[in-house]
Amino acid sequence: MLKKYLSDIAFMQVLNLLIKPIWILLIDAAVQEALPQEVYGNYFALFNFSLLFFIVLDLGLNSFNITEVAQDNSKIGLLTGSIIGLKIILALAYVLIILSVGVVIGYTSQEFGLLLTLGAIQILTSLTQFFRSIVSSLQRFRVDGIFMVLDRILVILFVAILLWSEIPDFELTIHRFAYAQVLSLSLVLVSLLFFLRGYLSQVRISFSLASILPILKKSWPFAMLVSLMGLYTYIDGVMIKSLVGDAEVGVYALGYRFYFALLMFAQVFSGVLLPLFTKNIADSALIRSISGYTARLLLFGGLVASFITTVYSLDILTIINPGKANSDSAEVLVLLIFGFVGAALTLVYGALLTAGKELKWLNRFAAITLLLNLILNLVLIPRYNAQGAAMATMTSQIFFGLICFFVSVRKYNLHLNFTSLLRPFLGVGLLALIIFRGKQYAQNMSVHFVMIAIAVLLAAYLFKLYNLKDLKSVLKK
């Protein structure tokens, strides 16, 4: 099972590596480079604002659907019609809420126009995620991987035309950038419906309270969790805009991009782990094997990225955004990447606790994390601007990740053995030594990265990500 899991993950990550960096590090970066800092900063803040209320569109329905359908595929026909009907009602409620809150905040008419388009993006995202949850519940992870990147492929094509085609009266604007995303998601939604047509042929959309209310009753703990986690994850951009203005949001967004790219790769694991854990929750040996290996892999990747960005943060931003790279955004990047270590624990052990329906614990500590995040943002943003928001995000992610880990250890008897941590600690020490101190002795950046590559290979062995027999087999091939 571990080999099949790693094979599916490898396939999905190859797709990610081929597509997502082009979107995040080339296309999205080119858009920010082409537009004024305040314009993109305002877009980033409004986008995060639209995400704050994403829970209204989801209400935990996607996670609930996975935990039900992964155990019994026949429930696709029983649940889908009512969930779609509920999502249509929720979409109308969502639009009403973001417009109402926007009025209270004092958004301008131009901002409302952009906000409505961003709202459409969130509605389409919610629908595509729901139908993808059916695909993953069927354990069709490779197909899900294709749909995962399809919208990015399409939006890359559409935005590239806006950026570089030089078609008269068709230049890039922030509104056309948003419209391109709407069109891409619409095409993916149609493709998903076509792929699932055999499972959905007998489904009828239902608005009956008799069928909707039982689903809401079962899904509300999932909804609470998604809401709390979404708030402490995405409220940073909104609070920066409110407390110190759009320009600082632009500074934050520049540092946030690389962190977001890393997070997107890690979230692929969570998307596979939730249906996999749900289907095999009674198999304690499998749970220990897959959760342990995935956690080591993500923590290792996070630490390598954290150490490298600490040394080369400004160089990385200069490559991505040569015209707007600055030391403030570089500091934001370093802080956020260290926060990824906590996010990695959440992605693995949060998925395990969700699969086991341990939502009481998750919701309790997610609420504490949100309160912590709000307090830190209110204190740190006025004093440290964008860097203050990054400090708050880093602290919140690490806090919640550790909570998920320790609760999982207790609930699932994961046998935390401190003597087994000696090898990973040695690996961390080796990485730190080569990355932080090796720069002084390397003749240039290329030599230093060769040193880092060797250190990564040795440290990965110490993290038990491979054994010598596997390495010998690869070298022979």
pLDDT-derived band at 18 (thresholds 50, 70, 90) equals confident
Burial call 302-317: b when 16+ CB within 10 Å, e when fewer: bbbbbbbbbbbbbebb
DSSP 436: I
pLDDT digits (tens, 9 = 90+) for 296-327: 889 898 999 999 999 999 988 888 778 788 88
Q: What is the pLDDT of residue 276?
A: 84
Distance CA 21, CA 470 (A): 29
Tell me which of 181-190, 362-371, 392-401, 430-439 is least confident: 430-439
φ, ψ at 160 (rounded to 5°): -60, -35
pLDDT digits (tens, 9 = 90+) for 195-245: 988 888 888 888 888 888 888 888 888 888 888 887 888 788 888 888 988
Structure tokens at 471: 């390495």
Please, how many CA atoms are within 13 Å of residue 375, restricted to the half-sphere of its CB?
8
8 A C-beta contact, residue 258 and residue 333? yes
Structure tokens at 149: 């990147």
Closest CA to 39 of 258, 257, 245, 250: 250
Distance CA 193, CA 199 (A): 10
User: How far, CA to CA in Å, does 17 sit from each of 132, 265, 266?
Assistant: 20, 8, 12
Number of H helices, E strands in the chain: 21, 0
Closest CA to 219 of 28, 412, 59: 59
Does 416 score more than 70 pLDDT?
no
DSSP 349: I
Structure tokens at 37: 């800092």
Mean pLDDT for the stretch of residues 152-159: 92
Contacts of 476 (CB under 8 A, 6+ apart): none
DSSP 348: I
Distance CA 326, CA 333 (A): 11
Distance CA 145, CA 133 (A): 11
Distance CA 396, CA 310 (A): 20
Closest CA to 199 of 81, 332, 310: 81
Mean pLDDT for the stretch of residues 71-76: 77
pLDDT-derived band at 471 (thresholds 50, 70, 90) equals very low
SS3 label, residue 170: coil
Contacts of 292 (CB under 8 A, 6+ apart): 414
The larger pLDDT score, comparing residue 155 to residue 267, is at 155
pLDDT-derived band at 116 (thresholds 50, 70, 90) equals very high
Q: What is the pLDDT of residue 477?
A: 46
Does 2 score more than 70 pLDDT?
no
Q: What is the separation of C-alpha 106 from the centre of its chain, rounded to a whole number of angstroms?
A: 29
Does 259 score more than 90 pLDDT?
no
Closest CA to 34 of 185, 239, 174: 174
Q: What is the pLDDT of residue 275?
A: 84
pLDDT digits (tens, 9 = 90+) for 431-449: 999 988 887 777 788 889 8
Q: Other C-beta atoms within 10 Å of 386: how many?
A: 27
Largest CA distance in the chain: 71
Contacts of 304 (CB under 8 A, 6+ apart): 431, 456, 459
8 A C-beta contact, residue 85 and residue 205? yes
Closest CA to 322 of 25, 18, 41, 17: 25
CA angle 125, 129, 131 (to 5 degrees): 120
